[in-house]
Amino acid sequence: MDRRSLGQDGTTVSAIGLGCMGMSEFYGPRDDAQSLDTLAAALEHGIDFLDTADLYGSGHNEELIGRFLKGRRGQVVLATKFGIVREPGVAGRRIDNSPAYIRAAVEASLQRLGTDVIDLYYMHRRNIDVPVEESVGAMAELVKAGKVRQIGLSEVSAETLRRAHAVHPIAAVQSEYSLWTRDQERSGVLAACRELGTTLVAYSPLGRAFLTGAVTDTSSLAADDFRRVNPRFAEDAMAQNRRLAEAFGDFAADLGARPAQVALAWLLSKHDHVVPIPGTKRRSYLAENAAAASLRLTAEQVAALDALFAPEAVAGTRYNEAGMKDVGL
């Protein structure tokens, strides 16, 4: 497994990481035994960059990762996040970036994870009512205290990244980035990351499994699967997006590779400062994803995929109206 830089302090991570959110919610029922086996498989395949958040499963995901880390902490680069708050028994959520909340949230995450330091601590979403300088200042204090090694932001604008970086180096920006979600190319975030030495950590690099060809409609998904209410998986959008997936499947077949591998190889071949973190609960899919690190695409193949997945060819927004209000701030 190739390795890539994470931020500016010399830390390196596997070129492909593992997003752990789906092990706890949003993509069907939990299976902790299966998830723990998949986490073990990640290390077997050289994947050592694990991504979680206090939001996922309302703490369950961090607790699951904490169970896995016992006796393995030194083998893993651990990332988690704070800022999206769901109160028990209260519908909806709120965003809290206040310094007081940050100090409380990190202690709770450290306890659930069973560790005394977090390698990369992200602000999950931004509340524009709190100046980013205040939030990053509080995160920088955690670094000084030895509770956090590096800090990151998620789904922010290039302007916010630069403001934050002026307070403390930002190791990573996590944003949705894939063949069918290319907002970061147009927003200037990718360019700002390169300029500042910040890694772009790409979540949902397989388009929430759509790019794999495994999801052609939502009828087979669990009743509580997030994709059932995602605009890109709605019936009208799906008809258009399915044509893209079919053409992409043919492209991958011509290369003798799986679509998921080509989707990941596109990111890795196009940018040397991007680390994709595909999520999976299954050992077999993890092995398939890991193999993508050795697939090299030519400049001509990258350009062909760029053209196939031109942003205007993709139907539907990546979140509903409420969710879209929280990104790019």
120 DSSP β-pair partners = 79, 150
Question: CB-based burial of residue 187 (10 Å sphere; 0-12 exposed, 13-18 middle, 19+ buried)?
Answer: middle
Helix (H) or strand (E) holding 290: helix 283-291
Q: Which two tokens stand for residue 4?
A: 């890539």
CB contact set of 150 (below 8 Å; sequence gap of 6+): 6, 7, 9, 11, 119, 120, 121, 143, 169, 171, 172
Catalytic residues: 56
Query: 258: closest CA among 232, 288, 299, 296?
Result: 288
Q: Which two tokens stand for residue 115?
A: 């560790």
Query: Cα Rg for the chain, rounded, in angstroms?
Result: 19
Question: CB-based burial of residue 116 (10 Å sphere; 0-12 exposed, 13-18 middle, 19+ buried)?
Answer: exposed
Evaluate whether 316 touches 234 at the Cβ level (below 8 Å). yes
Q: For 223-277, give the DSSP string.
A: TT-GGGG-GGGSHHHHHHHHHHHHHHHHHHHHHTS-HHHHHHHHHHHH-SSEEE-
Q: What span, in angstroms and rounded, lies between the C-alpha atoms of 27 and 56?
A: 11
Question: CB-based burial of residue 67 (10 Å sphere; 0-12 exposed, 13-18 middle, 19+ buried)?
Answer: middle
